[in-house]
Amino acid sequence: MTILHRMAMAASNSFLSTPLLRPSVSQFPRRLVSIRTSCDPANMKKKKMHTAASSAIATESSESATLSQDDNVKTKRTTTQNEKTDKLILPTNESSEKLLRVRHTKLYPDAKVTIGPWIENGFYYDFDVEPLTDKDLKRIKKEMDRIIARNLPLVREEVSRDEAQRRIMAINEPYKMEILENIKEDPITIYHIGNEWWDLCAGPHVESTGNINKKAVELESVAGAYWRGDEKKPMLQRIYGTAWEDEDQLKAYIHFKEEAKRRDHRRLGQDLDLFSIQEEAGGGLVFWHPKGAIVRHIIEDSWKKIHIEHGYDLLYTPHVARADLWKISGHLDFYRENMYDQMNIEDELYQLRPMNCPYHILVYKRKRNSYREFPIRVAELGTVYRYELSGSLHGLFRVRGFTQDDAHIFCLEDQIKDEIRGVLDLTEEILLQFGFSKYEVNLSTRPEKAVGGDDIWEKATSALRDALDDKGWSYELDEGGGAFYGPKIDLKIEDALGRKWQCSTIQVDFNLPQRFDITYVDSNSEKKRPIMIHRAVLGSLERFFGVLIEHYAGDFPLWLSPIQARVLPVTDTQLEYCNMVTNKLKANGIRAEVCHGERLPKLIRNGEKQRIPLMAVVGPKEVEMQTVTVRSRFGGELGTMTIDDFASRIKSATLNRTSF
Q: Which of 189, 190, 188, 192 is nearest to 154 (CA)?
A: 192
What is the residue type of 60?
Answer: E
Q: Which of 145, 246, 406, 490 is catalytic?
A: 406
Residues 591, 622: Cα–Cα separation, whole Å:
21
| Pairing of the two strands 235-243 and 122-128 | antiparallel
406 is catalytic: yes
Residues 6+ apart with CB under 8 A from 387: 337, 338, 339, 340, 400
Beta-carbon count within 10 A of 27 CB: 16
Residues 396, 269: Cα–Cα separation, whole Å:
10
192 is catalytic: no
Cis peptide before 569 (omega within 30 of 0): no
Q: How many H helices and E strands in the chain?
A: 20, 32
| Pairing of the two strands 52-56 and 112-113 | unpaired
Give backbone dihedrals phi and psi of 564, rounded to 5 degrees, phi first: -85, -35
Cis peptide before 530 (omega within 30 of 0): no
Q: Which of 488, 543, 591, 611 is catalytic?
A: 488
Alpha-carbon dihedral of residues 632, 635, 637, 642, nearest 10 degrees?
Answer: -60
Q: Which of 192, 386, 421, 465 is catalytic?
A: 386
404 is catalytic: yes
Q: Which of 4, 156, 145 is nearest to 64 (CA)?
A: 145
Cβ(100)–Cβ(164) below 8 Å: no
Cβ(275)–Cβ(401) below 8 Å: no
Residues 6+ apart with CB under 8 A from 59: 4, 5, 6, 7, 8, 9, 10, 11, 12, 52, 53, 105, 144, 147, 148, 209
Cβ(219)–Cβ(58) below 8 Å: yes
Q: Which of 408, 446, 566, 611 is catalytic?
A: 408
Cβ(14)–Cβ(244) below 8 Å: no
Q: Which of 197, 93, 219, 214 is nearest to 153 (CA)?
A: 197
128 is catalytic: no
Alpha-carbon dihedral of residues 393, 396, 399, 402, nearest 10 degrees?
Answer: 180
* CA dihedral (579, 582, 583, 584) positive or negative: positive
Q: Which of 455, 467, 327, 451 is nearest to 409 (CA)?
A: 467
488 is catalytic: yes
Residues 139, 325: Cα–Cα separation, whole Å:
57
449 is catalytic: no
Query: What are the Cα distances from residue 274, in Å, to 382, 565, 566?
Result: 21, 17, 17
Q: Which of 404, 415, 507, 610 is catalytic?
A: 404
By CB atoms closer than 10 A (0-12, 13-18, 19+), residue 68 is exposed
Alpha-carbon dihedral of residues 578, 580, 582, 584, nearest 10 degrees?
Answer: -150
Q: Which of 357, 411, 578, 595 is catalytic?
A: 357
Q: Which of 238, 534, 566, 591 is catalytic?
A: 534
By CB atoms closer than 10 A (0-12, 13-18, 19+), residue 624 is exposed
Ordered alpha helix ranges (H), 222-345: 247-262, 265-271, 290-309, 323-329, 331-334
**Catalytic residue set:** 357, 386, 404, 406, 408, 488, 534
